[in-house]
Chain A
């Protein structure tokens, strides 16, 4: 009997005898928020998650799981796989398979399969929350004060009292300012995976990884794709690698409008999108002055996608009522070492926190560690150094640690040694595929055991290759550790441990034979 009564009693006990209904309320059901909530629930805490997806200007909405699951990593990786399969058709012919020269993809089949998978993940997240007894509210939250949050939807309104609040609302794509027709006619990464029919001839605007990845998979799926970049590609990545990535995209058939900025988007009489742009004057590496040619370029597209950055959407949260301060230019929430905001009891993790890498695994880990610090007496802080990341362009770029530029500025050119190699993946040999961009660069200290500072790998499967090296870097690996490890033959990854040509030696870094 007692066994039956206890849970009942404890629930009532909690409801009325404590000041707060919840120990933890997470606003935002993305990777970081969910990880934090589930971890906290494991310690027997009363946890709630509030998640609400504001429709994009084009009307796309989705379920629980945040950017990664719905409009980020997961669908983009599947698109990437599809694009690789498309390219694989060409290879297969030289491998003796009798296939047509170009395979055409049926966008609606692919997109519907992809949506089905995303929906199953949404459902999976719901089930997990339920299993862990985390209360889920599909409501839009806003602060009344630092412990009370109002959740509203069109039909419902609740007031929640929570001792700790974690902001994990993430970011949403930006639309360019001062470009007439941008919002009206353009889409963003929020919409691209939810399109019912093929985007057709597409223009992707932006130079970040979202833009490059999207252009890559659209091209891989056989679409006429143009990429408009204002200045440089992949800012923050090693620029030599970034240049190779854009060259590889160009070789895949992506058209480039480099040094261009959009002026306006109009719907032409045939119903297509007429994009007008300006070209930068004297596009030279050094002087990237803001001087633009008067003459305008113009072309018609079926789809225009903006990938010009992401920004937090915190207006509805009414952060000022809790006294949570945000950074003036980015609008992101200011956080300290412990992920705390300017308001005690309110924390921020993931993309919305100022200065943090915008990556799913970072948010997940930060969320877990935060929950452990709040409820399990842990003191472990998140280490934001040596965060590995991969750009899933058709030729993948894996990267961890310092870029060469950063190493040069932090140390000095005399203190670093760069090992590099151009290699040819075996799988490219038979179809005689272009491997001019398959390049590896390892940045090390020059003296002693030559501790590794950064690893950059451009080639097939870079995502899978880089993970282990990220671990090695975390263990403090040096160049001699690479040398003393036995290779795995024949793989692309073994090229990394076979590196022996230094950049300053000026020798030809092309790998020949074993």
Chain B
């Protein structure tokens, strides 16, 4: 059937199949010999679009062009046929991963290590949110902003610094170069593990087995993992007129220049981090929040302390406020109108950059999942059980697309566990979603794990004991501007098991990890007390709480 269609098709169609075929073989064959020898052999290809395509793909082409060996006509013809026809048949794998982000990559690599024939479909650069528009570039910008703090403290520490200029372009260039390097590392990691990378968008299609189609080619596998992640949510034009003038965290990383005035909307950690970066780099920053405090899902000590820190750093906090209108003024800058409870509307004019950081939504609309009847929850996230199974057998979902603990290491761990379960014979491998440590790169950074005081109260009632500490880290001993460090340990039951740890202060980002290991193990306050301190650090405060 398919062969017939092939014969009767137009030249253009044949070309596109050929291109598909070449793409296909490019992934299939390591060393490029086949593709290149056919290419070198065919004079038509040397001048046409395919030639350009090839020379983009194969950097070593110029060298190989010199190897213009001739093949017998029969061999040539059959090669062409194989190249063009093979992709029309659905290709089968043991594991097909949709999405080359942290979770998908981890799952694919672990499965390949365990011997599964694995392919990974990704439409953008490898690495997903974390590497391209999340953790990594965010931390780079956070580090950049930290230097602003350091520069302030230089004089206090006896260094002579005159007024310092900052160039956003320079750091963006370096950041992009670094991310590009990371993309390359991921690519070569996958190649090393013999995982096929299929560039393009996937959608489920018909088939006796679950089948995925990418650029017209069908793929099937005994196990398909959906790890397509999420993307920032934006209000629609009907909800807020002019909403499209705003950007999201994705757009933040595309900014070519530091805005003079920025408005960030949202009270979650992304809003807090972005506002902190803008503000530290010298941009006049307003943060629009719906209630009185940021990070309302965090422990109350954290939300109130972070709110205070933002305000004392000079971020204009618009509390109990919502953006109701965005427009562009004659000079091309934005005018953002904010409603504030009962008070009069607040108008922010001459805004260069409006960032929506109001939440994230899953990337699964284009997957055509209704074809398989995979069930979604009310917010559009894929429903899974604790083993990452969806309601369709052989199809799994993990990472941000499930909407639970949207964190890179969580997705990585879930991906590895799933691969271990499917191919490593660990029938009960699953991720424990309890005690997941998180860090917010605010100024100063926030680190938390376990239950908040409120949650612990709800769970254990009066049976909790809370230890607190507030101090100024030694670093600030000689500086004019001091940032305090706050810490809270939530203990439950008579043995004072530590069920929550919350802190904000210099170095807390690095402090938490080891404590997370201990808390995961069920450490009690007595264990904390029995641990000797490391002097002088901020972390020692946690083992000397009284």
Contact = CB atoms under 8 A, between A and B. Distances in A.
Interface of A: 68, 73-74, 77-78, 81-82, 85-86, 88-89, 91-92, 94-100, 103-111, 113-114, 116-117, 359-362, 364-365, 383, 386-390, 398, 426-427, 429-430, 460-461, 463-472, 474-477, 481-482, 484-494, 496-497, 512-514
Contact of A469 (B102, B151, B166, B517): B517
10 contacts: A74-B536, A94-B171, A114-B478, A365-B532, A427-B143, A463-B537, A467-B533, A477-B518, A485-B520, A487-B412
B185 A105 contact: no
Contact of B171 (A109, A430, A482, A487): A430
B153 A85 contact: yes
B199 interface: no
Interface in B363-384: none
B316 to A, nearest CB: 24
B540 A512 contact: no
Contacts of A107: 158
B189 A471 contact: no
B150 interface: yes
Given A103-B160, A474-B530, A492-B510, A481 B521 contact: yes
A78 B477 contact: yes
Interface of B: 102, 105-106, 130-131, 135-136, 139-140, 143-144, 147-148, 150-151, 153-154, 156-161, 164-171, 174-175, 178, 182, 185-186, 189, 407-410, 412-413, 432, 435-439, 447, 474-475, 477-478, 507, 509-518, 520-523, 527-528, 530-540, 542-543
B166 A398 contact: no
B517 A468 contact: yes
| Closest 9 pairs (CB-CB, A-B) | A468-B514, A110-B158, A467-B539, A493-B513, A96-B171, A469-B514, A361-B533, A487-B409, A468-B515
A383 B517 CA distance: 22
A117 B161 contact: no
Nearest to A110: B158
Given A430-B171, A467-B515, 9 more contacts: A82-B157, A89-B159, A105-B159, A110-B478, A360-B533, A427-B139, A474-B530, A485-B520, A488-B516
B516 A490 contact: no
A491 B439 contact: yes
B539 A430 contact: no
Nearest to A108: B158
Nearest to B513: A493
A98 B164 contact: yes
Q: Which of A94, A471, A493, A494 has the most CB of B within 10 A?
A: A471
A456 B135 CA distance: 26
A430 B178 contact: yes
Contacts of B154: 85, 89, 103
Contact of A496 (B140, B150, B514, B534): B514
Q: Which of A92, A117, A486 has the most CB of B within 10 A?
A: A486
Contacts of A116: 478
B174 to A, nearest CB: 5
B512 A98 contact: no
Contacts of A468: 511-518, 539, 542
A362 B532 contact: yes
A105 B157 contact: yes
A398 B475 CA distance: 18
Contact of B159 (A73, A96, A103): A103
A476 B524 CA distance: 12
B140 A426 contact: yes
B136 A426 contact: yes
A388 B534 contact: yes
Contacts of A485: 435, 437, 513, 516-517, 520
Given A68-B535, A106-B160, A493-B512, A430 B140 contact: yes
A43 to B, nearest CB: 15
A361 B535 contact: yes
A98 B144 CA distance: 12
B511 A471 contact: no
A471 B478 contact: no
Nearest to B162: A100
Nearest to A461: B510
B510 A464 contact: yes
B158 A109 contact: yes
Nearest to B281: A96
A212 to B, nearest CB: 17
Contacts of B435: 485-486
A361 B532 contact: yes
A96 B532 contact: no
B295 to A, nearest CB: 17
Given A92-B150, A103-B161, A467 B534 contact: yes
A489 B135 contact: yes
A36 B542 CA distance: 20
A472 B407 contact: no
A464 B538 contact: yes
Contacts of B409: 486-489, 494
Given A92-B147, A362-B532, A513-B185, A477 B537 contact: no
Contact of A488 (B157, B186, B447, B542): B447
A466 B154 CA distance: 27
B178 A470 contact: no
A360 B369 CA distance: 62
A465 B515 CA distance: 9
B513 A488 contact: yes
A387 B532 contact: yes
Contact of B143 (A103, A388, A430): A430
B542 to A, nearest CB: 7
A430 B474 CA distance: 27
Contacts of A461: 507, 510
Contacts of A471: 514-515, 518, 523, 527-528, 531, 542-543
A110 B170 CA distance: 32
Q: Which of A73, A99, A496 has the most CB of B within 10 A?
A: A99
Contacts of B156: 113
A475 B136 contact: no
B517 to A, nearest CB: 4
A389 B412 CA distance: 32
B534 A514 contact: no
A486 B147 contact: no
A116 B515 CA distance: 34
A78 B171 contact: no
Contact of B160 (A94, A104, A514): A104
A310 B503 CA distance: 37
B412 A514 contact: yes
Contacts of A100: 161
B534 A490 contact: no
Contacts of A92: 147, 150-151
A390 B540 CA distance: 12
